[in-house]
Amino acid sequence: MSRPLRFCMVTTFYPPFNFGGDGITVRRLVNTLAEQGHHVEVAHCVDAFEMLRPEGVPASGPYDDHASVVHHALRSRAGWVSPLITQQTGSPGLKRRRLHRLLAAGQFDVIHFHNASLIGPTALAYGDAVKLYTTHEHWLVCPTHVLWRYNREPCTEQRCLSCVLQARRPPQIWRSAGLLQRSLRHVDAFIAPSRFTREKHLEFGLKVEAPIVHIPNFLPIPDPPPANDPRPHERSYFLFAGRLEPIKGAHVLVDEFRSYEHADLLVAGLGNEAQKLRDLAAGASNVHFLGGVPYAQLERLIRHAVAVIVPSVGYEVFPTVVLESYAQGTPVIGHRLGPLPEMLDGCGGLSYGTRAELRSALDAIRTDPDYRARLGRMALETYRAKWTPDRHLDVYFSLIADLKESRRRSGQTRRPA
């Protein structure tokens, strides 16, 4: 881009009011843009975070962003009532006035929506900037966000009403009234972090005129490890890092390592399943729960792991831990589901479909240091070739330029809603 641009990122969750990978991904984009001299503002919903915050996740903390980033923490005296209104109406509800005033002022070149589930789809009409929407989750085609049917299995056919009731969520009548479809017409382009999630949105009925562009997420280039970088754990270990929720599949690993005595399993993360996992691991001296760990400590844990394991039993969109592992030159073993095959196979990782294949992958990497080293080099090469900030921003800015030029040629202007 020839001049600095003005961005507004709109998302339900944003650190420190965040407990998932989507908010971390948004934060990385925000700070990378700010470091390059662009003006960036972020609007996010504090009430939604407080309503849904899992057990063990801190209530809040200070922002840790580039000094130029402007934050708009959307909150209401009504607390959890505000996101509930949004969930039921598809409108920003009690956040509407402030968000509308922010986006409709016409001061932004780009309005980029991320997880907008508790912002409300009608907010997509606000403002006259180029509008992007990144599908960090499957919310556009799934009321529960994650295509996790009946809280027990990946969704293969839509039974939304019964599934939502099973998940103990209020049905969203507006989904069947055309509101979402009308709102999506205000988006100039959708960004899909993985090819899998692009195809899944189309398979489950997303009908949009705007392009759906595959742009992988990125990870800032990590600092080199310190000269003195001792192992954080005495025995050889495999690492799980992520939220402790059923869909993430940590229970598969805990159960496997109860009988896999050749190495330890370290589990880093917080979530509602933490106590159930500890109960499952009772008596297994090689399974260790670390809780939430600072990112610098996580990087060290990744560096020294035999491999990082991503055992997700539901559809991921673009698991950040794969990028974090590859950037450290650490191979990944992942369940052959969702986007993991496109991220692992031939790229520095191994995928498995059965428990026997999982154990075979564990043995293959653990018992052959040269093989593990080759996979690690391939992983690092994949990161550098695909997932650095420069790779991401080249495509990102090219998309923005194309959209601006398309609007200029067509003489298209929007009246701010």
3-state secondary structure of 309: strand
C-alpha distances (whole Å) from 121 to each of 12, 78, 146, 387 are: 12, 21, 17, 29
Residue 1 has pLDDT above 90, yes or no: no
Cα separation, 70 vs 9, whole angstroms: 10
Q: What digits encode the pLDDT tens for the residues 232-272?
A: 999 999 999 999 999 999 999 999 999 999 999 999 999 88
Mean pLDDT confidence for 327-336: 98
Mean pLDDT confidence for 363-384: 97
pTM, to two decimals: 0.93
Chain-centre distance for alpha carbon 62: 21
Q: What pLDDT score does 61 carry?
A: 81
Cα separation, 257 vs 322, whole angstroms: 21
Q: What pLDDT score does 176 carry?
A: 86
Q: Which helix (H) or strand (E) holds 352?
A: strand 349-352
Instruction: Tell me which residue of 397, 247, 387 sits closest to 320, measured CA to CA.
Output: 387
Q: What digits encode the pLDDT tens for the residues 203-239?
A: 999 999 999 999 999 999 999 999 899 999 999 999 9
Q: What pLDDT score does 114 carry?
A: 96
Q: Cβ distance 39 to 4 under 8 Å?
A: yes
Residue 307 has pLDDT above 90, yes or no: yes
pLDDT band of 105, cuts 50, 70, 90: confident
Q: What digits encode the pLDDT tens for the residues 376-388?
A: 999 999 999 999 9
**CATH fold of 6-218+388-410, please?**
Rossmann fold (3.40.50)
Cα separation, 393 vs 219, whole angstroms: 11
Instruction: Tell me which residue of 276, 338, 336 sits closest to 309, measured CA to CA.
Output: 336
Phi, psi dihedral angles at 16 (to 5 degrees): -85, 5
Give the start-to-end residue ranges of the domains of the chain: 6-218+388-410, 237-386
Residues 6+ apart with CB under 8 A from 177: none
Residue 412 has pLDDT above 70, yes or no: no
Number of Cβ within a 10 Å radius of residue 62:
6
pLDDT band of 413, cuts 50, 70, 90: low
The least confident of 68-72, 167-171, 182-186 is 167-171
Q: Cβ distance 94 to 85 under 8 Å?
A: yes
The least confident of 2-11, 321-330, 374-383 is 2-11
Q: Which CATH superfamily is domain 237-386 in?
A: Glycogen Phosphorylase B; (3.40.50.2000)
Mean pLDDT confidence for 67-82: 94
Q: Cβ distance 394 to 224 under 8 Å?
A: no
Q: Which two tokens stand for residue 202?
A: 């189309």
Topology match between the domains 6-218+388-410 and 237-386: yes
Residue 54 has pLDDT above 80, yes or no: no
Residue 414 has pLDDT above 60, yes or no: no
Number of Cβ within a 10 Å radius of residue 190:
21
pLDDT band of 288, cuts 50, 70, 90: very high
